[in-house]
Amino acid sequence: MAFTLQIGEQAPDFRLPATDGRTWSLDDFKDARVLVIFFTCNHCPYVIGSDEVTRATALKYEPHGVRFVGINSNSENTKPEDSFENMVRRMEEHRFPWVYLRDETQEVAKAYGALRTPHFYVFDENRKLVYTGRGVDNPRDTSQMTVNDLDNALADVIAGRPVAVPLTNPIGCNVKWDGKDPHWMPVEACDLV
């Protein structure tokens, strides 16, 4: 069995606290035509380097009924910068156009098979996975990027087309699993493509 959620599979449910003081579940986004769930964090240079491109993509597709949900599953024991308090500060500072959730137990990251930060999952109106992988091909330095895979996938979904490239390898820092070396990944978590 693959570690990462496969194309066509259903979005796993969750119930997680957010930086806005609410607890959110998958069902709270049922009004979204398309749902982008991405695993992110506070410290990773690949996240920080691509946050503004992710913001622009979220704002571009918001009028088309696309919602973005960021989830931080990193262990704060491994990376103290990824604490919930620092998540709140980061959202206050940057005012990103997405809900920012805390997956302290890392169960949601395991359910989705999150490999890196950032790692994007695009779900259609039936919450079937239609794209997973990277946002862009150079998230650390978006001035050098040549393709925005997330934007391309969303353009296809909104146009009613099958996603031309439904699977890419996420590029970024690996998820920081509690009690493990910062560079550890599950044995079954090989590259996607």
pLDDT for residue 185: 76
Asked if pLDDT for residue 190 goes beyond 90, the answer is: no
Third-level CATH fold of 7-186: Glutaredoxin (3.40.30)
Q: Full-prediction pTM beyond 0.75?
A: yes
- 3 state SS for the chain: CCCCCCCCCECCCCEEEECCCCEEEHHHHCCCCEEEEEECCCCCHHHHHHHHHHHHHHHHHHHHCEEEEEEECCCCCCCHHHCHHHHHHHHHHHCCCCEEEECCCCHHHHHHCCCEECEEEEECCCCEEEEEECCECCCCCHHHCCCEHHHHHHHHHHCCCCCCCCECCCCCEECCCCCCCCCCCCCCCCCCC
Return the domain boundaries, the chain: 7-186
pLDDT for residue 183: 79
Q: What is the pLDDT of residues 59-98, one digit of tens each?
A: 999 999 999 999 999 999 999 999 999 999 999 999 999 9
Q: What is the pLDDT of residues 17-75, one digit of tens each?
A: 999 999 999 999 999 999 999 999 999 999 999 999 999 999 999 999 999 999 999 99
